[in-house]
Amino acid sequence: MATGQSKSKKPAQQPAQNRAGAEHPGRDKEHYHALLLDSVSDTIISQDTNLIIVSWNKAAENIYGYKAEEAIGRKMNELLRFEFPGFTRRQILEITNEKGSWKGEAHVINRTGKPITLLVSLARLFDEEGVCTGYVSVAKDITDNRDAEDKVIRSELFYRNLIAESADGIILADEKGMVTFSGLSGDRLLGFEPREVNGRNIIDFVHPDERK
């Protein structure tokens, strides 16, 4: 027999994982950011205004050879010695503080003694009130790219020297017939200095009767 009273329904139980996330949203957000930083291949390092390392991601561990717990709380120059072609560390900080960021190339020898070339971006960090709290640097390892470029340069230099010393008259031209290189032997054959030949069309040095 109905009594007219309705039974109250119990609220649906949330999954334990969702309840934990609702109880600690800040902690979950920090954990997500930490996972995100560790998933990228570039080094991401943050420092406070005194240049003390605050965070050090997994890529930094792999490239530089120091674990996060070894790096955090210390200054970068206590761990590694960076060289920035054309800049000093002081100049880079001055540019970053004035313009907000700096980007350039850096060379460093890591903990294991391996020389590394990096493309580095440095920027200032600000809190919600617009106060500068430190710096963040992102660095990409471009060592393999630079090594490949150096090999090409060395190869070109080797063959240019080989051609220049050849007794045969050797002249290099592009697909349009413009001279890109003339060795000293070519100079003796044509009667022109290399600087007078380079940049001109090779047809200019062919006798008119032979052009047809």
Torsion region of 96: left, alpha or beta (phi above 0 gives left; psi -120 to 50 gives alpha): alpha
| pLDDT of amino acid 21 | 45
Query: Is the pTM for the entire model greater than 0.85?
Result: no
Backbone angles phi, psi at 163, to 5 degrees: -65, -40
Q: Which residue has the higher pLDDT, 105 or 192?
A: 105
| Alpha helices by DSSP H, the chain | 16-23, 25-38, 58-64, 68-71, 76-79, 89-99, 143-164, 184-190, 194-197
The predicted-structure confidence for 80-100, as pLDDT tens digits, reads as follows: 999 999 999 999 999 999 999
Q: What is the residue-wise DSSP string for 63-97?
A: HH---HHHHTTSBHHHH--EEBTTB-HHHHHHHHH
Taking all residues of the chain, what is their mean pLDDT, rounded to a whole number?
A: 78
Q: Find all residues with CB under 8 Å of 26, minimum gap 6, and list them.
A: none
| pLDDT of amino acid 190 | 62
Average pLDDT over every residue of 179-197? 66
| pLDDT of amino acid 3 | 47
Copy the structure tokens of residue 208.
């008119």
| pLDDT of amino acid 113 | 95
The predicted-structure confidence for 197-211, as pLDDT tens digits, reads as follows: 777 787 776 767 666
